[in-house]
Amino acid sequence: MNQRPLSPHLQIWRWGPHMLVSILHRATGDGLALVGLFVLVWWLGAIASGPAAYETFVNAMTSPVGWIVLFGLSWAFFTHMMSGLRHFVLDIGAGYELNTNRFWSIASPIIAIILTIALWAVVILD
């Protein structure tokens, strides 16, 4: 059996909203890179391939699964953006006070959800 000690952060730190935001930042970045790149390349390929291929793409993206993918990509974009802005502020040396850090750790995913809903309200109602 392996007797190596666990990393100290697992024994010292409690879970907090800042950890969740950090994990979401990484996960949404990966999702945007993988799924977003796939959709972008498919879209560009469909445009270059002609009307029939583009119609196939549009039909896929306007199906229920396509709407879920596009909604998820927009949520991932806004979540990643808000977290990135939070990290930018931290990188310049501000926002490290516990209450400020906690507030923006909670506010950034909430703002991302509001922005996602606002975007889709415009898309659907327009």
CA–CA gap between residue 36 and residue 73 (Å, rounded): 7
Residue 69 lies in a domain: yes
Residue 95 lies in a domain: yes
CA dihedral 30→77→75→37, nearest 10 degrees, is: -50
Judging by beta carbons within 10 Å of its beta carbon (0-12, 13-18, 19+), is residue 96 exposed, middle or buried? Answer: exposed
pLDDT at 14: 73
Residue 112 lies in a domain: yes
CA–CA gap between residue 53 and residue 41 (Å, rounded): 13
Residue 59 lies in a domain: no
Residue 6, pLDDT > 90, answer no
Between 53 and 1, name the one with better pLDDT: 53
pLDDT at 10: 58
Residue 6 lies in a domain: no
Q: How many domains does the chain have?
A: 1
Full domain range(s) for residue 111: 64-125
3-state helix, strand, coil in the chain (%, to 5): 85, 0, 15
Residue 48 lies in a domain: no
Residue 75 lies in a domain: yes
Q: What is the pTM of this model?
A: 0.86
Residue 16's φ and ψ, nearest 5 degrees, are -145, 175
Residue 115 lies in a domain: yes
Query: Is residue 26 within 8 Å of residue 115, measured between CB atoms?
Result: no
pLDDT at 77: 98
